[in-house]
Chains A and B, each alone.
Chain A
Amino acid sequence: MSSTAHYPGVVLPTAEEEIWRYSRIEELSLDSFVAGSVENKVDAPADVASIVTQGAAVGECGVAMPIPVDAFAEINAIHCSGAHADIITVKTVRGKSYASPVVITRTLSVSGVLAAPRLIIDAAENSEVTVVEHFLSSDDVSSLIAPVVEIRAAQSARVTYIAINELGNKTWKIAHQQSLGERDSTTRLFTVALGGDYARVRTEARLVGIGATTQQVALYFADKTQMHDFRTLQTHIAPRTSSDLLFKGAVQDTAKSVYTGLIRIEHEAHGSQAYQTNRNLTLSHGAWAESVPNLEIETNDVKCSHASTVGPIDDEQRFYLESRGIHPDIAERLVVLGFFNEVLERLPQIDVVSGLRAKVAAKLHAGAQ
């Protein structure tokens, strides 16, 4: 247990705690960072420009995460009320659907800083909006980003959030995504993780209104010494709520990934359904992936399923393609891209997403076995 000079009262977790098991938390020393900021670029076409506020007040925080869930959410909360506050809000108007996505690019360009930006998406009743948060840093930036996104979808609102991690290979990311779905709302949380040194996302979808629906979908691909770490929670509080989670990842070289997921169906949430699928490809002998699905069900009359796999590329699939005269390296590339297609096809077809397939392909190298 170590306390830090910069964040009095904040106690970092240890790998002894189940939710930090397998993580690289023990390597982290907050003393090596000073509080800093990212550079923000907000791309909001005319129809969405009016709903975006940069530099919002700390009072806006807490719509979906009133109390910080761990040390890094605490650090983010401390930033929000201090000199390095970086709060962007997207607040929709009741009944309005916004065709253009809001695209926020967060760039870390300095080493040795801890940046903790916050994004708040507050969708009013029966409104619809898509927000992209794109994280970037160059390969020489050795810093830590601890972003928080809070999403509230009021009755019948429809929110799509897409996080894209293209951080450099020395940057750490410890992120939180927290959504709150009210009656008949739909929240969709997408994550595409290609970058970072150690990149962790804790994503929790809370279904608090009857009939609320959520989807959590991720694509992650780590190579070299990268590690991607996901902790997912599908929390059903109200009756007849539904959640669907699909996380697909690959590890190459000596990269690692961790997925742990919990479906929690609380006492009142009868008539709910929850699905959770995590699939992992290990593309090199030295690569490692862990997958731990969990269920906690406190009521009857629910439909739940979970599935999880970790393994190399299927030999039969590889042979099928090779039998068409395709070189094994290309066959492997096709199989991996096919594996990720299921996620890419679910993503909204917007500009920032359309280049992702090529970025995944570029990361795949020949002869990974």
Chain B
Amino acid sequence: MSTLKIENLVAGIPGKQILNGINLTLNSGEVHAIMGPNGAGKSTLSGVVMGKPGYVVHSGSVTLDGEDLLALPAWQRAQAGLHLIMQYPTEVPGVHLDDVIREAYTSRGRNTSTLDAEIVAEAARIHFDMALVERSMNVDLSGGEKKRNETLQLALLKPKFAILDELDSGLDIDALRDCARRVEAATQEDNLGVLVITHYARLLEELRPDVVHILAAGKIVKSGGPELADELETTGYAGLTQ
């Protein structure tokens, strides 16, 4: 079993502190949801943990099985077993999914001889059209297609932990279900640990969390079971963050 541990994380962008001491422990196979209103620091948290340029860490730590992730560049965090599904997946013109996955496999010392077949099988599993797989990464894809593409990569790379940053934004109901179910399956088949960052509870109806954290003003103000998400649906953030 693996553990992703965030301790007293204080971070932000230059000149502005956004995260004011985050503590969170996520184990393999668990699904934790982080919910919060706009501006709470949800995307900053995912960016800081993954190592996206532009963020500044003031104090605290993020470790994966004791390894200091904050000391590593993004590509080494990914190799250590961390994966990020971005809210707005970046378009990379002329670069195709199989090019990326082949390099990602190679950099992990994985065999690529059956990669094409793996892509076909995974694409079928989340109903991602193979014709779209041939396209440039995220170029001319709809919101739903982009997230299927992201989920496909997650399924192939089999990380230890995945951060889903607003996986549900821009998603139609079918794509939401396909992506959520595939991630849910990975928690059982591959013992994937998941940190689901979302504004809305509807994703959590498909991807049931073990723990729900409420993030407000850069701090986790409340943690609880899945019922916390339901409560949020009725009370709204105002009731919970006061």
Does chain A have a CB within 8 A of B157?
yes
Residues of B within 8 A of A319 (CB): 52-53, 74, 90
Complex Cα gap A337–B136 (Å): 12
Does chain A have a CB within 8 A of B227?
no
Nearest-neighbour CB distance to chain B for A73, whole angstroms, equals 35
Q: Is the CB of A323 within 8 A of B95?
A: no
Nearest-neighbour CB distance to chain B for A39, whole angstroms, equals 36
Name which residue of chain B comes closest to A279, CB basis.
B93
- Residue from the list A315, A327, A338, A339 in contact with B75, Cβ < 8 A: A327
Q: Is the CB of B103 within 8 A of A334?
A: yes
Complex Cα gap A342–B99 (Å): 15
Residues of A within 8 A of B73 (CB): 322, 328
Residues of A within 8 A of B78 (CB): 322-326
Within 8 A of A (CB), among B62-88: 73-76, 78-79, 83-84, 86
Name B's interface SS.
mixed
Q: Is the CB of A317 within 8 A of B75?
A: no
| Contact size range, A | 20 to 34
Residues of A within 8 A of B91 (CB): 317
> A324 with B95: in contact, given A319-B53, A319-B90 (CB under 8 Å)?
no
Complex Cα gap A330–B107 (Å): 10
Complex Cα gap A312–B52 (Å): 18
Within 8 A of B (CB), among A208-266: none
Q: Is the CB of B93 within 8 A of A323?
A: no
- Residue from the list A316, A326, A330, A334 in contact with B90, Cβ < 8 A: A316
Complex Cα gap A315–B74 (Å): 13
Residues of A within 8 A of B53 (CB): 315, 319
- Residue from the list B50, B103, B136 in contact with A326, Cβ < 8 A: B103
Complex Cα gap A216–B104 (Å): 36
Report B41-56 CB contacts with A as 1/0, cut-off 8 Å. Answer: 0000000001111000
Q: Is the CB of A317 within 8 A of B99?
A: no
Q: Is the CB of B74 within 8 A of A323?
A: yes
- Residue from the list B52, B76, B94 in contact with A337, Cβ < 8 A: B94
Complex Cα gap A337–B53 (Å): 23
> A342 with B93: in contact, given A319-B52, A325-B104, A326-B104 (CB under 8 Å)?
yes
Does chain A have a CB within 8 A of B92?
yes
Complex Cα gap A322–B75 (Å): 5
- Residue from the list A320, A323, A330, A339 in contact with B103, Cβ < 8 A: A330
Nearest 4 Cβ contacts at the A-B interface = A338-B94, A341-B94, A325-B78, A338-B95
Given contacts A323-B86, A326-B75, A338-B99, 16 further A-B contacts (CB under 8 A): A319-B52, A319-B74, A321-B95, A322-B78, A323-B75, A323-B83, A323-B84, A324-B75, A324-B78, A328-B73, A330-B107, A331-B75, A334-B100, A335-B92, A338-B95, A338-B137
